[in-house]
Amino acid sequence: MKRLLSCHASDFAEMTGADLVQSIKASEGRTILGETVVTAAPLLEGITNGEVMAAFGADLLCMNEFDVFKQEIVGMEGIDEPIQQLKEWTGRPVGINLEPVNPEDTVLDQKVTISKGRQATAEAFKQAEKLGIDFIMITANPSTGVTNQGILDSIKVAKENYTGPIFAGKMHGAGSSEPVVQEDLLLEIIQEGADGILLPTVGTVPGVTIQQTRQITERVHELGGLVMNTIGTSQESADEETIRQFALHNKQVGTDIHHIGDGGYGRMAPPENITAFSIAIRGKRHTFARMAQSIKR
- Strand, coil or helix: 25: helix
Rg (CA), the chain: 17
Q: Using CA of residue 253, residue 216, residue 275, residue 170, what is the dihedral sign?
A: negative
Residues in the chain: 297
pLDDT one-digit tens code per residue, 21-54: 999 999 999 999 999 999 999 999 999 999 999 9
Alpha helices in the chain (DSSP H): 9-14, 17-26, 49-55, 82-90, 122-131, 148-161, 183-191, 210-222, 240-253, 271-292
- What is the C-alpha separation between 21 and 196, in angstroms, rounded? 9
pLDDT in tens, 97-151: 999 998 777 777 777 889 999 999 999 999 999 999 999 999 998 888 899 999 9
pLDDT at position 176:
82
Report the half-sphere exposure of 234 (CA within 13 A, side-chain side): 4
DSSP state for residue 6 in the 8-state scheme: G
Which band of pLDDT confidence, cut at 50, 70 and 90, is reported for residue 174?
A: confident
Q: What's the CA gap between 145 and 153, in Å, rounded?
A: 15
Angle at 89 between CA 88 and CA 90, to 5 degrees: 95
> What is the separation, in whole angstroms, between the first and last Cα of the chain?
17
259: left (phi over 0), alpha (psi -120 to 50) or beta: beta
Burial 190-203 (b: 16+ CB within 10 A, else e): bebebbbbbbbbbb
Cα(115)–Cα(133) distance, integer angstroms: 18
* DSSP secondary structure string for all residues of 155-218: HHHHHHH--S-EEE--SS-TT-SS-S--HHHHHHHHHTT-SEEEEEPTTTSTT--HHHHHHHHH
* Each residue's pLDDT tens digit, 189-202: 999 999 999 999 99
Tell me the average pLDDT across 271-290: 98
pLDDT, residue 268, reads 97
- For range 57-83, the mean pLDDT: 97
Task: State the chain's mean pLDDT as an integer.
Answer: 95
Residue 17: strand, helix, or coil: helix
CA distance linking residue 31 with residue 117, whole number of Å: 28
CA distance 221 to 229: 14
% of the chain surpassing 90 pLDDT: 91
